[in-house]
Chain A
Amino acid sequence: MRRSSVKLVLASSLPLALTACSAPEETYTVSKRSNYTTVQACVDDKMPVDVCSDAYMEALADHRRVAPTYGDKAACEADFVPDYCQVTSDGRYMPRLGGFELAVSGEVSQSQVDAARAQVESSGQAVSGGSNFNGLLTGLLLGQMMSGGSRQYYSQPVYQYRDSRGDYRTTTLGEQIDQGKRFERSDQAQQSGGSYSSYYSGSSSGGSSYRSKTSTRSSVSSSISRGGFGSQATARSGWGGKSSGGFSFGG
């Protein structure tokens, strides 16, 4: 029985074809996901200020929409950490926004990778080959990507809680649900048959898709419309309360 050569499929294998000098460049996807407590912390991490503030505003809007609310303070703090919950305008209790998670992603060209690699090497650091970039290289490439060309990012609110070993952690509600938290005493859970997670997966926009922000170099014609593909597939997504990006729209 025949099988393909494994060389065709390994991540480290190079294209078989010899590309001519003028051939378009290979591109690489670079991405990063970080938590920030403030916009300033985000800017200090060399992210553009407009991205940081937009990410924060988005997380705040999401927070107001999806954070669990409770009838009493103790119930709220049992799900998060002591002295963490605040009273809302209508007398309920909800956790404080603990910051935001920002995920960025975009493509860089082979020459950008080569240049960044040379820069890292000239500083005396070792760089691995292939398309697996180490932290330093990723940082450089992200900087280039965020300051020009196309970039995509999304943000969602994060909250402090204590994990099963009692350690303080800060992460998104989606991840807390994945780790088994049920927010059973929240208003949302009580209203939807004891399940906060079904409420969450139906309401949260956080993490469901990257928003595209192209830089404002305006060679792009203003008459382009977007978003005319994809609505039918996404309208049927989230079925079964999946919260991560593991599902498929294919089949």
Chain B
Amino acid sequence: MRKISIDERPDWRATAEREGFSFHTIDGERYWDERGYYQFSEAQVSRDLEAPTQELHAMCLDAVERIVDSEALMTRLAIPPAFFDLVRRSWKEGHPHLYGRFDFSYDGHGPAKLIEANYDTPTSLYEAAAFQLIWLEQQIERGVLPAHASQFNTLAEDLVQAFGTFERESPFYFSAIAGSVEDRGTTDFLRKMAGHVGISTRHIDVEDIGLNGDGRFVDLEGRPIPRLFKLHAWEHIFHEDFGQAIAGCDTQFVEPAWKALISNKGILPLLWEWHEGHPNLLPAFLDEDPRRPVPKGWVRKPYFSREGANVDIRTVDDQRVFEDGPYDDAPYILQGFAPLPKFGDSYTLIGSWVIGDLASGIGIREDDTLITKDSSRFLPHVVLD
């Protein structure tokens, strides 16, 4: 694994605009950054990223199986008791799931370490599945990269496969919070993949979803929503007005409610408890006293936090790196600190995707600090021996 500088395609911004990748630049700063790329060997990808992703996914599903039968464990994961049954039922009835992303600290040597699992509302999907693929094809076409260069990236193909398991008769609604261009980029890309198998799709903003007198969720025209992909976290839904209507409705939610168990940093101490010493896991414990300072070599994280918010790192040599945020109202965990590797001036995080039940590809984020945030840059990768 190394980082290689490369000339940007002179026309990449026009390409991004044409392809509908409108958030390539955020607040004037590069989000998509193709001034460099990461190169991996085949062995690094298949042995160190693909295989562990597949294994961790299986471990997470096994954890869900154990948790849903235990009210004590659901309580420990801060699931409100009113939703125990919804979560349990969604798992027991086998409600289908579409996607998730593990974030790894990995530098090309030794085992990748699982930082967290984004298993409910992961974003950066379009960039990983589509725009880095287009980048690679064009750089090969233009003779900049060799013809046998490839990527660990079957995301689009696997999404089409996954959508193929859904029935095609009724419309599939895709929802995101109004106003977020990035979230809309994710749902619009998923709609395109669903369209490949003949599913008819519609967009609705999360805030526009209606609840009618019969307890059914409806669109803006009052038509029932049979299936809803929601880029909106379950831990939020549990505390919103319509949350309590879900148990009695006839809408199929994707991701299903059981994803709330994995997309919850409380799962990390449980994984450690059940698989202590696993090479891809970091030691993790419930933080009994979040008011005391973080011990050296540990990281404090809230159960629910996104884009690095409220993450508090204390390095082995006593440096503190802290990202403030709004997620200070849930329990915390302590996780062993596995510093992100530094390439040049940037800290690098690998997002490893699971589509359906398959390890499907990676996307790489870089930040100037040890905490990857929503402003972190996205860089393409190449697999080449």
Q: A246 and B212: CB pair below 8 A?
A: no
A21 in contact (CB, < 8 A): no
A123 in contact (CB, < 8 A): no
B10-31, CB < 8 A from A: 18-20, 23, 26-28, 31
Instruction: Write the chain B residue with the least CB distance to A6.
Output: B137
Q: B211 and A249: CB pair below 8 A?
A: no
CB distance from B97 to the nearest CB of A (A): 15
A165 in contact (CB, < 8 A): no
| Contacts known (A6-B137, A228-B209, A230-B232); A246 close to B31, Cβ less than 8 A | yes
Q: A249 and B183: CB pair below 8 A?
A: yes
A223–B130 alpha-carbon span in the complex (Å): 42
Q: Which residues of A contact B59 (CB under 8 A)?
A: none
Q: A244 and B209: CB pair below 8 A?
A: no
A3–B171 alpha-carbon span in the complex (Å): 29
Q: B121 and A250: CB pair below 8 A?
A: yes
A19–B203 alpha-carbon span in the complex (Å): 19
CB distance from A239 to the nearest CB of B (A): 5
The segment from B69-77, B218-226, B312-320, B339-347 found at the interface with A is: B218-226
Q: A9 and B203: CB pair below 8 A?
A: no
A208 in contact (CB, < 8 A): yes
A40 in contact (CB, < 8 A): no
Q: B211 and A228: CB pair below 8 A?
A: yes
CB distance from B67 to the nearest CB of A (A): 21
Q: A251 and B307: CB pair below 8 A?
A: yes
A104–B272 alpha-carbon span in the complex (Å): 50
Q: Which of A9, A220, A229, A248 contacts B209 (CB 8 A)?
A: A229
B268 in contact (CB, < 8 A): no
B202-246, CB < 8 A from A: 202-203, 205-213, 218, 220-222, 230-233, 235-237, 239-243, 245
CB distance from A220 to the nearest CB of B (A): 4
Q: Is the interface of B mostly helix, strand, loop or mixed?
A: mixed
Q: Which residues of A contact B178 (CB under 8 A)?
A: 209-210, 230
Instruction: Write the chain B residue with the least CB distance to A150.
Output: B220
Q: Which residues of B contact A235 (CB under 8 A)?
A: 326
The segment from A23-31, A64-72, A185-193 found at the interface with B is: A23-31
Q: B137 and A1: CB pair below 8 A?
A: no
B150 in contact (CB, < 8 A): yes
Q: A8 and B240: CB pair below 8 A?
A: no
B195 in contact (CB, < 8 A): yes
CB distance from A196 to the nearest CB of B (A): 16
Best-buried of B156, B202, B218 by chain A (most CB within 10 Å): B156
| Contacts known (A11-B19, A150-B220); A229 close to B206, Cβ less than 8 A | yes
A212 in contact (CB, < 8 A): yes
Q: Which residues of A contact B160 (CB under 8 A)?
A: 8, 16
CB distance from B79 to the nearest CB of A (A): 15
Q: A250 and B186: CB pair below 8 A?
A: yes
CB distance from A177 to the nearest CB of B (A): 10
Instruction: Write the chain B residue with the least CB distance to A211.
Output: B178
CB distance from B324 to the nearest CB of A (A): 8
Q: B157 and A247: CB pair below 8 A?
A: no
Q: Which of B158, B205, B231, B242 contacts A228 (CB 8 A)?
A: B242
Best-buried of A9, A224, A239 by chain B (most CB within 10 Å): A9
CB distance from B172 to the nearest CB of A (A): 10
Please tell me the number of chain A residues within 8 Å of chain B, measured between CB atoms.
61
Can you list, as one digit per residue, whether each of B185-200 has a CB less than 8 Å from chain A (1) or not (0)?
0101100110111101
Q: A3 and B210: CB pair below 8 A?
A: no
Can you list, as one digit per residue, whether each of B166-187 has a CB less than 8 Å from chain A (1) or not (0)?
0000010000111111110010
CB distance from A145 to the nearest CB of B (A): 13
Q: B198 and A19: CB pair below 8 A?
A: yes
Q: Which residues of A contact B336 (CB under 8 A)?
A: none
Q: A224 and B210: CB pair below 8 A?
A: yes
Instruction: Write the chain A residue with the least CB distance to B216.
Output: A224
Instruction: Write the chain A residue with the least CB distance to B373.
Output: A240
| Contacts known (A23-B198, A230-B240); A246 close to B210, Cβ less than 8 A | no
Best-buried of A25, A228, A242 by chain B (most CB within 10 Å): A228
B304-361, CB < 8 A from A: 306-307, 309, 324-327, 361
B118 in contact (CB, < 8 A): yes
Q: Which residues of A contact B211 (CB under 8 A)?
A: 224-226, 228
Q: A236 and B197: CB pair below 8 A?
A: no
Q: A226 and B186: CB pair below 8 A?
A: no
Q: Which residues of B contact A220 (CB under 8 A)?
A: 221-222
B86 in contact (CB, < 8 A): no
CB distance from A140 to the nearest CB of B (A): 21
Q: A224-B212, A247-B374 are in contact. List 15 more A-B contacts (CB 8 A).
A: A1-B150, A4-B155, A10-B134, A107-B203, A212-B220, A214-B221, A227-B207, A228-B245, A229-B241, A232-B240, A245-B179, A246-B23, A248-B307, A248-B374, A251-B122
B residues engaging A (CB < 8 A)? Answer: 18-20, 23, 26-28, 31, 42, 45-46, 118, 121-123, 129-130, 133-134, 136-137, 150-158, 160, 171, 176-183, 186, 188-189, 192-193, 195-198, 200, 202-203, 205-213, 218, 220-222, 230-233, 235-237, 239-243, 245, 306-307, 309, 324-327, 361, 374, 383
Can you name 9 A-B residue pairings with CB atoms under 8 Å? A6-B134, A8-B156, A210-B178, A221-B213, A233-B177, A236-B327, A248-B183, A248-B186, A251-B118
Closest 4 CB pairs of A and B: A228-B242, A246-B26, A232-B236, A17-B198
